[in-house]
Copies of this chain bind each other. A is one copy, B any other.
Amino acid sequence: MAAANVKDVAALARVSIGTVSNVLNRPEIVSPETAERVMQAIEKLGFVRNDAARQLKAGRSNAIGLVLLDGANPFFTEMATAAEDGAARAGFSVIVGNSNEKKDRESGYLNLFEEQRVRGILISPVGNVAPRLRRIRDHGIPVVLVDRTSPDSSFSSVSVDDVTGGAVAVTHLIDSGRRRIAFVGGAMSIRQVSDRLQGARIAVGMRADVSLEVITTAALVVSEGREAGRAIARRPASERPDAIFAANDLVAIGLLQGLLMEGRIAIPDQIAVIGYDDIPFADASVVALSSIRQPTRLIGETAVEILLEEADDPTLEPRHVVYQPELVIRDSSGGPAA
């Protein structure tokens, strides 16, 4: 019942415990016959190496800690999966923590990761954890920011250029003939939201004949988008925008609902809609949603790569990788305004 240990295996195979360890870790230096005997003993006893002892000896673990902002958002879960795959390729595992935008949960996971002596930490921070992260790094644990750049550039980061993304989205709307554009999203305190809006402003700023209205929502969820859509549908046709840029796909999907079902507004004929993130469901909404795609998997993989390099060589200068988003045109923004 009690788990077997190396000592038991050694006794059964009539070798020293050192040899058992060698069979497990450096099989090439032990003679085939001995190795065979040891393997049989392991098999017979159902021996499973105790990772805690191994880590204690090694002084560090083979895990990477990852703190996510929102576990319910397909964008983050996909990124996490990519990080896991990348880590697995290098022989590491990933411990995923979901902060859910709560500072105390974030802090709890950082504690956990420190106690586990993880090899490094990937994080999309919610609170102002920079000082904490600095201390962690001073203890020899590298930290890479994901989907957010470091204010003082002292941490490596992997992010996407949301300003450009916003500009691309709105430029696309303008190019397809739209002139009265609305931005729907919030809260503005979320950096991604303000960046995307800023991009929209830049795109519009170059054109005197284009207007940009900003409609603020409380959160980036479907229900908020639906409300905004209803409100817009209720307006007289002349006061409606002819295109809407939503701060993310959830809001955009809500908008479609509100506009189509409540207002019988034709999409994209009367109003074009574009979202952001290109989540799998974008393509599955009734009017297939145009969106701005982020290289989600690439973000996760790159972050792991950088992290592991820094773990190998702590003297490395911090790096900042910024990916460019990509326009995905689907039905919701096709064709010109009526």
Contact = CB atoms under 8 A, between A and B. Distances in A.
A3 B284 contact: no
A2 B280 contact: no
Contacts of A111: 48
A139 interface: yes
B72 A78 contact: yes
Contact of A51 (B49, B116, B250, B281): B116
A95 B116 CA distance: 13
A85 to B, nearest CB: 10
A115 interface: yes
A95 B96 CA distance: 7
Contacts of A283: 222
B286 A46 contact: no
A52 interface: yes
A129 interface: no
27 contacts: A2-B140, A46-B135, A46-B139, A48-B114, A52-B55, A52-B56, A52-B61, A52-B116, A56-B56, A72-B74, A72-B77, A72-B78, A72-B81, A81-B98, A84-B98, A95-B95, A222-B281, A222-B284, A250-B284, A254-B284, A257-B286, A257-B288, A260-B286, A281-B284, A284-B285, A285-B286, A286-B286
Interface size range of chain A in the complex: 35 or more
B96 A96 contact: yes
Contacts of A16: none
Interface string A81-116: 100100000000101101000000000000110111
Given A51-B117, A257-B288, 17 more contacts: A46-B135, A48-B111, A48-B114, A50-B56, A50-B117, A52-B117, A72-B77, A77-B77, A222-B280, A253-B281, A253-B284, A254-B284, A257-B284, A281-B284, A284-B285, A285-B286, A286-B286
A3 B78 contact: no
Nearest to A109: B93
A53 interface: yes
A300 B112 CA distance: 22
A261 interface: yes
A51 B257 CA distance: 50
Interface in A144-171: none
A307 interface: no
A256 B48 contact: no
A287 interface: yes
Contacts of A51: 115-117
